[in-house]
A and B are shown apart, each in its own frame.
Chain A
Amino acid sequence: MNEYIARVLERLERLYPNEPEYLQCVRAWLDMIAPAVDRPEYERLDVLSRMVEPERMFSFLVPWQDDQGATHTNHGYRVQFSSAIGPYKGGLRFHPSVTASVVKFLGFEQTYKNALTGLPIGGAAGGADFDPRGRSNREIMRFCQSFMFNLYRYIGSDTDVPAGDIGVGVREIGYLYGAYKRVTGRAESSALTGKGLTYGGSKIRQAAAGFGTVYFLARMLEHQGEELAGKRIAISGFGNMSWGVCRKAAELGGRVVTLSGPDGYVYDPDGVVTQEKFDFVRDLRSSGLDRVEPYAEKFGVTFYPGKKPWEAPVDIVIPCAAENEITVDDAVLILANGVRYYVEAANMPASADALKLLRLSPKILTAGAKAAGSGGVAVSALEMVQNSLRYSWSRREVDEKLRGIMSSIYDASAAAAEEYGLGYDLIAGNDIAAFKKISEAMIAQGL
Chain B
Amino acid sequence: MSISNEYLRQLMERVVKRNPAEPEFHQAVSEVLASLSPVVDAHPAYIREGVMDCLVEPERIIKFRVPWEDDQGNVHVNRGFRVQFSSAIGPYKGGLRFHPSVYEGIIKFLGFEQIFKNSLTGLPIGGGKGGSDFDPKGKSENEVMRFCQSFMTELFKYIGPDTDVPAGDIGVGGREIGYLFGQYKRLANEFTGVLTGKGLTYGGSLARTEATGYGLCYFTDNMLRDNGRSFDGATVAVSGSGNVAIYACEKAAAFGAKVVAMSDSGGYVYDKNGIDLPLIKQLKEVERRRISAYVETHPEAEYHTGCAGIWTIPCGIALPCATQNELDGQAAKTLIANGCFAVAEGANMPCTPEAVDALQAAGVLFAPAKAANAGGVATSALEMSQNSMRFYWSFEEVDDHLKRIMTDLYRNASDAAARFGMPGNLAAGANIAGFLKVADSMLAYGVV
Contacts and interface: CB of A to CB of B under 8 A. Distances in A.
B330 interface: no
A142 B186 CA distance: 15
Nearest to A182: B153
B71 interface: yes
B415 interface: no
A67 interface: yes
Contacts of B73: 67, 138
B18 interface: no
B68 to A, nearest CB: 11
A contact patch SS: helix
A153 B157 contact: no
Given A138-B69, A183-B187, A65 B153 contact: no
A149 interface: yes
Nearest to B71: A69
A183 B153 contact: yes
Nearest to B142: A69
A134 interface: no
Given A67-B73, A183-B153, A149 B142 contact: no
Nearest to B183: A149
B273 interface: no
Contact of B189 (A69, A138, A153, A185): A153
Contacts of A59: none
Nearest to B188: A153
Given A67-B73, A69-B142, A138-B69, A150 B153 contact: no
B154 interface: yes
A142 B189 CA distance: 20
Nearest to A137: B73
Interface in A142-191: 142, 149-150, 152-153, 182-183, 185
Given A67-B73, A138-B69, A150 B186 contact: yes
Interface in B172-212: 183, 186-187, 189
A25 to B, nearest CB: 32
A177 to B, nearest CB: 15
B79 to A, nearest CB: 16
A149 B69 contact: no
A149 B187 contact: yes
Contact of A182 (B69, B154, B186): B154
Nearest to B189: A153
Nearest to A136: B73
Contact of A65 (B142, B154, B186, B187): B142
A183 B187 CA distance: 8
Contacts of A182: 153-154
Interface string A352-388: 0000000000000000000000000000000000000
Interface string B39-82: 00000000000000000000000000000010101000000000
A78 to B, nearest CB: 14
Interface in A105-128: none
A159 B187 CA distance: 18
Interface in B129-187: 140, 142, 146, 153-154, 157, 183, 186-187
Nearest to A153: B189
Interface string A190-204: 000000000000000
B157 A185 contact: yes
A153 B154 CA distance: 15
Contacts of A138: 69, 73
A65 B146 CA distance: 10
Contacts of A149: 153, 183, 186-187
Contacts of B153: 149, 182-183
A411 B151 CA distance: 53
B70 to A, nearest CB: 11
A182 B151 CA distance: 11
A399 to B, nearest CB: 38
A121 B254 CA distance: 72
A150 B71 CA distance: 24
Contacts of A69: 71, 140, 142
Interface in B90-145: 140, 142
A69 B183 CA distance: 18
A98 to B, nearest CB: 21
B183 to A, nearest CB: 8
Contacts of A153: 189
B216 to A, nearest CB: 41
A71 to B, nearest CB: 9
Contacts of B69: 138, 142
Nearest to B67: A182
A187 B112 CA distance: 34
Contacts of A183: 153, 187
Interface in A193-252: none
B301 to A, nearest CB: 46
A340 to B, nearest CB: 53
B65 to A, nearest CB: 9
Nearest to B145: A65
B63 to A, nearest CB: 14
Nearest to A61: B186
Contacts of B187: 149, 152, 183
A69 B154 CA distance: 23
Nearest to B73: A138
Interface in B390-448: none
Contacts of B183: 149
A150 B142 CA distance: 21
A156 to B, nearest CB: 15
Interface in A62-100: 65, 67, 69
A69 B146 CA distance: 11
Contacts of B142: 65, 69
Contacts of A185: 157
A291 B337 CA distance: 88
Nearest to B158: A185
A138 B75 CA distance: 11
A67 B187 CA distance: 23
Nearest to B150: A182
Nearest to B141: A69
A120 to B, nearest CB: 29
A65 B142 CA distance: 9
Interface in B248-268: none
A152 B157 CA distance: 13
A61 to B, nearest CB: 10
Contacts of A150: 186
A150 B153 CA distance: 12
A33 B51 CA distance: 72
A182 B149 CA distance: 12
Interface in B267-308: none
A263 B73 CA distance: 33
A153 B73 CA distance: 28
21 contacts: A65-B142, A65-B146, A67-B73, A69-B71, A69-B140, A69-B142, A138-B69, A138-B73, A142-B69, A149-B153, A149-B183, A149-B186, A149-B187, A150-B186, A152-B187, A153-B189, A182-B153, A182-B154, A183-B153, A183-B187, A185-B157
Interface of A: 65, 67, 69, 138, 142, 149-150, 152-153, 182-183, 185
Closest 5 CB pairs of A and B: A69-B142, A138-B73, A149-B186, A185-B157, A183-B153
Given A65-B142, A138-B69, 9 more contacts: A69-B71, A69-B140, A69-B142, A138-B73, A142-B69, A149-B186, A149-B187, A150-B186, A182-B153
